[in-house]
Chains A and B, each alone.
Chain A
């Protein structure tokens, strides 16, 4: 790599851990390392720390502390919510509703349940990635036991109308789960007001440590365990608690939800300048996702005639960390299922770039990306046979 300075614009992939969070975690590695299930005093310190983190997490969601269960992260929370509700409510019905744009932790779990005899409806989305509440309501049958719809999409940043969807779920007495992994700290969440029965979150998306997450389970929801073993988490999630991780999650969620409007406004201002700059300086570029209903830090754009992975390699060479929905980075030959679900043509999906801003960024980073990105796009277009073929590169076809 030629770059000396790293410009991190992949906050939706993961975030750095805030120093304040690390400082809170440190004592729980060497000092208060006791197993919370033990009865001696250092174990009581661990127990207290977990209880405090549970209060912090509950407060951030408008939940009660005893509705918060710590897990190993977003994937476990999604697996637990979906499989747990499906198996516990099998006698009531076997139908699950989700969307075509969910994270693979939800989609692959639903596909697994299909093999186990469940029926799954994958709701379509519009060109912006929005689920239509009326379409959800029509999909509900007498056999529907669970609706799982993400709070906000990880690729295109589109924020779903969760409160409206929650009303429909409540009206039909169907459990409503939302994967809120991308939304924590960016959007204000109130599980009671929004009729959310289960909610997944993951600490490393909001400046906490990796390997720690939580599932909110509203009191009274019928759900089976996913992890069987010891009696941790009030007998619902076996395994000795990741104390330091849980402490970190608690501190991180407290910090990130302290001033959501103020924080999001700051990130959004940088992001909007980036969007405007890119779309005005680079021709044949289009914004993916919704123009307004999108996460404050998310920018997803497609550039015609070029492919995403080659863009990432050049950006990486300049020290810019980004991601793409192109097949070429996914280990498969199909581009992003999210972009395809919005109706974006496959060839344009290959040319998508996602830049997700957050606390690692400054206005200078935006300036630098605006300086580098047009050059990268031009360089790749100059060697693309599609660009000259399209007649859009000057010459006799210039307008």
Chain B
């Protein structure tokens, strides 16, 4: 059911762990729904120099976290903000429809970590362009 790329990122997840004194942390999801992602970012001169994650969830959730942290490393915050859930899913060579919410969670985790950094810096948090995932009724758990 999963692509080889998903299985690769599930079995050999990149960037697992926490960053001590992370500049931005974003935790999304809900244990009731079966997935929680916690994203840690190290940010220097507006560039993400390190990204790590911890995830409770299925194979797709772990692979999405791994891929999302890979995609945002080395990017400016503006570029990282534009990494969409579709980009995460495409980089994983596709996710089953029922698992697309895992990529949405990854995008939200990155956004939340970036805004955590912005708020800490005294900056306005950026506003989500897309409606938050809990409004995609078919894609997310309602808890």
| Chain A residues within CB distance 8 Å of chain B | 305-310, 313-314, 317, 326-329, 331-333, 335, 346-347, 350, 382-388
Contacts A326-B34, A385-B38; A309 near B58 (Cβ below 8 A): yes
Number of A-B contacts (CB under 8 A): 78
**B16 in contact with A307 (CB, 8 Å):** no
**A385 in contact with B59 (CB, 8 Å):** no
Q: Give the residue among A305, A347, A387 with the most B Cβ atoms within 10 A.
A: A347
Q: Does B11 contact A (CB under 8 A)?
A: yes
**Could you tell me the dominant secondary structure of chain B's interface residues?**
mixed
Contact residues in A for B143 (Cβ distance below 8 Å): 346
CB distance from A331 to the nearest CB of B (A): 6
**B33 in contact with A333 (CB, 8 Å):** yes
Q: Which bucket holds chain B's interface residue count?
A: 20 to 34
Closest 5 CB pairs of A and B: A347-B31, A328-B58, A309-B58, A385-B54, A385-B38
Q: Which residue of B lies closest to A1 (CB)?
A: B7
**A383 in contact with B54 (CB, 8 Å):** yes
Q: Does B37 contact A (CB under 8 A)?
A: yes
Q: Which residue of B lies closest to A324 (CB)?
A: B58
Q: Give the residue among B17, B98, B142 with the most A Cβ atoms within 10 A.
A: B98
Contact residues in A for B13 (Cβ distance below 8 Å): 383
Quick one: CB contact mask for B10-26 with A, threshold 8 Å, 1 for yes? 11010011100000000
**A333 in contact with B54 (CB, 8 Å):** no
Contact residues in A for B59 (Cβ distance below 8 Å): 309-310, 313, 328
When the two chains form the complex, which single residue of B17, B18, B34 contacts A333, counting CB atoms closer than 8 Å?
B34
When the two chains form the complex, which single residue of A313, A350, A385, A388 contacts B34, counting CB atoms closer than 8 Å?
A350
Contact residues in B for A329 (Cβ distance below 8 Å): 58
Q: Which residue of B lies closest to A328 (CB)?
A: B58
Contact residues in A for B54 (Cβ distance below 8 Å): 383-385, 388
Rounded to whole angstroms, the CA-CA distance of A273 and B58 in the bound complex is 28
Rounded to whole angstroms, the CA-CA distance of A333 and B13 in the bound complex is 24
Contact residues in A for B35 (Cβ distance below 8 Å): 307
25 A-B residue pairings within 8 Å (CB atoms) = A305-B56, A307-B57, A307-B58, A307-B61, A309-B59, A310-B58, A310-B59, A327-B34, A333-B33, A333-B101, A333-B141, A333-B142, A346-B31, A346-B32, A383-B16, A383-B53, A383-B55, A384-B36, A384-B54, A385-B36, A385-B38, A385-B54, A385-B55, A385-B56, A388-B54
Q: Which residue of A lies closest to B53 (CB)?
A: A383
CB distance from B57 to the nearest CB of A (A): 5
- Which residues in chain B, 87-135, are within 8 Å of chain A measured between CB atoms? 98-99, 101
Q: Which residue of A lies closest to B31 (CB)?
A: A347
